[in-house]
Amino acid sequence: MLATVVSVGACSLPRGAALQSEVLAESQADNPTFQVVPVTRTNMPGIAAWPMTGQEYAYNWIGSSQGQNSSVIETGDLVDVIIWDSQENSLITGASEKVTALKSIEVGSDGAIFLPYVNEVHVRGLTPASARERVQSQFETIVPSAQVQLSLTPGLANSVDLLGGVARPDNYPMLSRNYKILTLLATGGGISPTMRNPVVKLLRGSSTYRITAKNLYESNGRNTTLHARDTIVVEEDQRSFTALGASGNEDLIYFPKDQITALEAMSLMGGIQDSRADPKGVMVLREYDTRQVRQDNTGPARQQVIFTFDLTSADGLFAARKFAIHPQDTVLATESPLTKAQTVFSLIGSVFGLTRQAQTFSAN
């Protein structure tokens, strides 16, 4: 009976993760399909230079630049023109009035606005001050005493969109050509404090630029100047890795910051279970693009690579502190071989307990 229980138990013990020897068994074959790399302090600098994998996007932000401190008139903007004339019998003003207000004149597709007596005046591309001077000069030919005021209300072509991740997403007019992204985010009520590692995304034409909010706020040199028709989106970091095996948490885990190490990843997955995990058998499974494979020891020798860590040594712990987890990695805490042995011994103890109970029952 004892032999039967031990034999059956050894073959079908309940386990939540594979043993390290089981995962790496194929590496002993003549032509293995994956590469095994034990990570140490010695080879860590070389591994750090290997290509990036699993990156859904690159942080490719553009630096700050200086624009004009005034708005520039664009098609679709609305212009208010106020004309003052103190002369009696003026062509511009009424008999009892000294001022005429022309409100909300839209800048046409040709870049011009229509004004009575002077016809069309081209103003697109001018600042409000320059446009006022041009309108003034046009009226001086027919009403030399006229004085002109001009104000601008930016239209869609002279504004930016702020979408998501802030208290007040909206379309915002550009108050000047020196309108900065941090000013826009503040106008929108700031980034929500509940967002996980927020990423600021700038859509400009056919290009997309990204930066984490933390890095954006760190330097004024990243406070980029916005362009008309830019779209800014604030969203949570979508990069993640998979946690498996004898850990406190088996799940898809999102990056809480720009970079995380193997040691931090193990903390995020709830640590490795003392009663189950093999501290010499922590692994990171990673897949490289075929174009990233190298045969000169400057990169992965196989498309699929398993990095192994021995957390029972200082060397392994320090190496894990330096090893960067990539998006879409799998961090696996393998099962300890002792767990299997302990289960067998537990079964043996149970058998002996049943045997003693049976003998006692027979004696009675």
Of 214, 236, 258, the residue that ends a domain is: 236
Which of the pair, 228 or 92, is modelled with greater confidence? 228
Total of domains in the chain: 3
Whether 83 and 137 map to the same domain: the answer is yes
User: Is 89 exposed, middle or buried (CB count within 10 Å of its CB: 0-12, 13-18, 19+)?
Assistant: exposed
The string of pLDDT tens digits covering residues 286-316 is 999 999 999 888 999 999 999 999 999 999 9
The string of pLDDT tens digits covering residues 207-249 is 999 999 999 999 889 999 999 999 999 999 999 999 999 988 8
Candidate from 59-63, 123-127, 317-321 with smallest mean pLDDT? 59-63
Mean pLDDT in residue range 158-179: 92
Judge whether residue 2 has pLDDT over 70: no
CATH of the domain at 167: 3.10.560.10
Q: What is the pLDDT of residue 143?
A: 83
Q: How confident is the model at residue 357 (pLDDT cuts 50, 70, 90)?
A: low
* Mean pLDDT estimate for the chain: 86
Whether 333 and 304 map to the same domain: the answer is yes
Judge whether residue 148 has pLDDT over 80: yes
Whether 131 and 76 have beta carbons less than 8 Å apart is answered as no
Q: What is the pLDDT of residue 86?
A: 75
Whether 145 and 100 map to the same domain: the answer is yes
Of 98, 128, 153, the residue that ends a domain is: 153
Distance CA 109, CA 115 (A): 16
Domain carrying residue 177:
157-236
Of 236, 268, 296, the residue that ends a domain is: 236
Candidate from 121-130, 140-149, 324-333, 355-364 with smallest mean pLDDT? 355-364
Q: What percent of the chain has pLDDT over 70?
A: 85
Q: What is the pLDDT of residue 97?
A: 74
- The verdict on residue 66 lying in a domain is no
Q: What is the pLDDT of residue 57?
A: 67
Q: What is the pLDDT of residue 216?
A: 94
- The verdict on residue 65 lying in a domain is no
Q: How confident is the model at residue 274 (pLDDT cuts 50, 70, 90)?
A: confident
Q: What is the pLDDT of residue 353?
A: 53
| Close Cβ partners of 277 (under 8 Å, ≥ 6 residues apart) | 17, 245, 246, 247, 333, 334, 335, 336
Please give the single-letter amino acid code of residue 171: N
Distance CA 98, CA 90 (A): 9
Candidate from 18-32, 106-120, 155-169, 336-350 with smallest mean pLDDT? 336-350
Mean pLDDT in residue range 75-80: 94
CATH of the domain at 95: 3.30.1950.10
Judge whether residue 158 has pLDDT over 50: yes
Distance CA 272, CA 249 (A): 9
The string of pLDDT tens digits covering residues 329-352 is 999 999 988 645 444 444 444 444
Whether 231 and 248 map to the same domain: the answer is no
Distance CA 273, CA 246 (A): 6
